[in-house]
Amino acid sequence: MLTRPALSTRRLRAYLDRFVQAYDYDGHLRRDPLHLVLPYEDPADREVAGFLAACLAYGIVKRVVHSVKDVLGRLGPRPAEALRSFDFDDKRFKGFLHRMTGEVELRALCTAMGGVLRRHGSLEGLFAEGHDGPTVRAGLEHLVETVRPDAMSFIGKKRVDWHRRRIKFLLPSPKDGGACKRMNLWLRWMIRRTRPDRGAWTAARPSELVIPLDTHIIRLSRFMGFTARATPDWKMAEEITSVLRRLDPEDPMKYDFALCHLGISGDCRHERDATVCAPCPIEKACRL
């Protein structure tokens, strides 16, 4: 299904490397939930804050940032410590709602995460237990398929099924076939150590990451000939990642933030527009 990129690998690498090196990360971070995760100095707090932020990273970016800030504010300055003693009956998320994620789902998720922290020491510990390269897939599957049923178990039989469906949405697994965009986004935050990320994990290498596949990455990847697949699933994410891995085998996700925010900012349209495309920094790599 892979189409031929608009440029040779050597030229594409040089072109995109210049693009990411000159990118205004600081200017765009304020529109990304990552900026709420970076200030946590303790890696334990950073992975917990990042996980919750990534789970809620769906919908309009402005609303995502507002909801993540709300959740982290309610947990206080030490979110990992707060979750280790968190109980499903905790009332601190009363009234919370982010699109289809309400306080019930959030309480169930936080209770399950607290259990992981007590049993494994960290989310990384649970991930590492299942991680078996060459990509993060196995570790992610193991983590999700541990946390998800635990979270669902707190719902109870008396509650309606939509709470369970909403938890499954929050915690997608590669086994389900989907792209797992938000989970891969969180892993990028945790594993990469160079801007804009500030990871501290050692359980996996940046070379093993899979791209967080959102609408902006899909559109740009098709424009640049990285994929011709119609369905935005795990296979598409792997295919796009394979192209980026040829450009930088050690750190293929260094291109993700800049490419994604090119779409978020509105600087990339769905069709060719001379006024927008001509000054575009990746115009020569685009088939349009």
Residue 248 has pLDDT above 70, yes or no: yes
Write down the residue that tokens 């349209």 correspond to. 269
Helices (H), the chain: 9-21, 25-29, 34-37, 43-55, 61-75, 79-84, 103-120, 123-130, 137-153, 162-170, 181-191, 215-223, 234-247, 256-264, 274-277
What percent of the chain is modeled with pLDDT above 70? 95
pLDDT in tens, 30-84: 989 999 999 999 999 999 999 999 999 999 999 999 999 999 999 999 999 999 9
Length of the chain as a residue count: 288
Query: At 102, is the secondary structure helix, strand, or coil?
Result: strand
Give me the CATH topology for the region 1-29+211-288. Endonuclease Iii, domain 2 (1.10.1670)
Q: How many CB atoms lie within 10 A of CB 71?
A: 22
Do the Cβ atoms of 188 and 258 come closer than 8 Å? no
Higher pLDDT, 238 or 224: 238
**Mean pLDDT of the region 177-202:** 97
pLDDT for 157 equals 56
pTM as predicted = 0.93
Q: How many CB atoms lie within 10 A of CB 144?
A: 23
Q: Give which of 243, 136, 123, 228 is closest to 180, Cα–Cα.
A: 136
Q: How many CB atoms lie within 10 A of CB 21?
A: 9
What average pLDDT does the chain have?
92
Q: Give which of 186, 159, 160, 156 is closest to 171, Cα–Cα.
A: 186
Q: What residue ranges do the domains of the chain occupy?
A: 1-29+211-288, 32-205
pLDDT for 1 equals 46
pLDDT for 150 equals 94
